[in-house]
Amino acid sequence: MASHRKPRPGGTTGAGIRTPALATAALTSMAMLSQTAEAAPRTDHAKPSLEEVEKKVDDLYRQAESATEKYNANKERTGKQRSRVDALREEVARRTDRLNKAREELGSFAAAQYRTGAAAPDTATFLLADSPQDYFDQSQLMNRLTSREKRAVDDYIGEQATTMKKRREAAESLRTLTDSQHDLQTAKTTVQQKLASARELLSRLTAQEKARLAAIEREKQQEAARKAAELAKRQAQQQSDSSSSSSSSSSSSGSGSTGSTTSGAYDTKAEKAIAFARAQIGKPYVWGATGPDSYDCSGLTQAAWKAAGVSLPRTTYDQVDAGTTVSLANARPGDLIFFYDDISHVGVYIGNGMMIHAPKPGAYVREESVYYGGESIIHSVVRPG
C-alpha cells in the first residue's frame, strides 16, 4: 500500500537539528575560514624594524661586554685561588713529611724503651692514639720520658695539629676554587650566547638593510663628533679661566705652585699611556684579551697605563676605584672614562672630547667621541693615581 506520509522538510529535523548535508557544508565553510586565517600574516611574529634590530644588537653587545668583565673578574679570582690551593698543597706536603719524621723519632724511642724494658710500650700505643694530647694527659708516660723525648712528643703534637689545620684550609680552598671555576664557565657561556644572538640577528638583514644600518651609524657618529667639539670648547675655556686664576694667584703670592708640579708629573705619565693606546689602534676587540695582539676595553686601559708605569686592576669594576673621580668638564688626557650604570666599558681620554677604546666584539681599537653611545651612558671620569 502506498505511503501517505508527507516528506520531511529538506533542512531540519524537529528541534532545529541540522541534516548531515548541511552539517557537512558548515564544516567545509569553517575549514575554509580556518585556512584563510592561517594564510593571513600573524602580527605577533611580524619582522622587527631596522631600528629594533639595531637596538637589540647593541643591547646584546653591551650585555656581552658586561659578561666579559664578569669573566675577567672570575678569571682573576680563579687564578689567585688556584695559586693559593697550590701553595697550601705544598705546605701540607711539607708538614706531612715533618710529621712523619717526628713519628719515626717517637717510634725509635718506643722501640728502645721496649728492648731495654725501661718502660711498657706506651709510646707505641701513643703513636696509634686518636688524640695524642688526651692520651698523655690521661697517662703517666710523660713522667717517664727524658727531656729529649718530651721535646719530640711536643714537636709531634704541634706538627700534627698544624698539618690537620693546613689540610682543612686546602680542602676549603679547593671548594672555593671549584666555585670560582663554575662562575668563570658561566660568564664565558653568557658571553658566547650573547654574541651568537647578535650575529644571528645581523645575518637576517638584507644588503639594503645593512646599508641603511650603516647610514644610521654614520649619523650617530656625526652627532657624537659635534658634541665632542662642544665639550672641547668648554674644556678649553675652563682651562683658560683656570690658568688666568692661577697666574693671578702666583703673582700675588710670589711663589710657585706645588700643584703644577704634580700636574706635570701626571701629564708625563698620561702621554706615555696615550702613546701606547694609540699604537694599538686597528687591533681587534677580543673579549678577555689583554694584548699584545688584541684587547677588550679594560685590557687596553690596563696595558696603556702599565706602559706609563702605573698598575691598574684588571676589570672596569676595580679600575673605577683606582684614582680620583673628576667631572667630564675637567677631564684631562689620560683620564679613564667609564660607561653605563654597571660600569661595563672604559676608554682612555685623549682630549678634545675624544678617547681611544676597544669598542665591542667585531670592532677594532679606535679613536672615537666620548659621546659615541650618547651622553646618558657616560658614568664617570677617573684620574689614575
Q: For residue 265, which of 309, 326, 303 has the smallest C-alpha distance?
A: 309
- Nearby residues of 71 by Cβ (< 8 Å), 6 or more positions away: 184, 187, 188, 191, 287, 288
Q: Is 45 a catalytic site residue? A: no
Strand partners, 345: 339
Q: Is 377 exposed, middle or buried (0-12, 13-18, 19+ CB in 10 A)?
A: middle
The answer to whether residues 349 and 289 touch, using CB atoms and an 8 Å cutoff, is: no
| Choice among 45, 182, 345, 379 that is catalytic | 345
What number of other Cβ atoms are within 10 A of residue 207's Cβ? 7
Q: Which of 4, 182, 297, 379 is catalytic?
A: 297
**Distance between CA atoms of residues 370 and 339, nearest Å:** 9
Give residue for cell 727531656.
147
| 253 vs 224: CA distance, rounded Å | 43
* CB neighbour class for 296 (10 Å; exposed up to 12, middle 13-18, buried from 19): buried
Annotation marks residue 182 as catalytic: no
Residue 345: active-site member: yes
Q: Pick the catalytic residue: 4, 45, 182, 357?
A: 357
Grid coordinates representing 308 are: 706609563
Let me know: does 368 contact 218? Beta carbons within 8 Å: no
Q: Which residues are catalytic?
A: 297, 345, 357
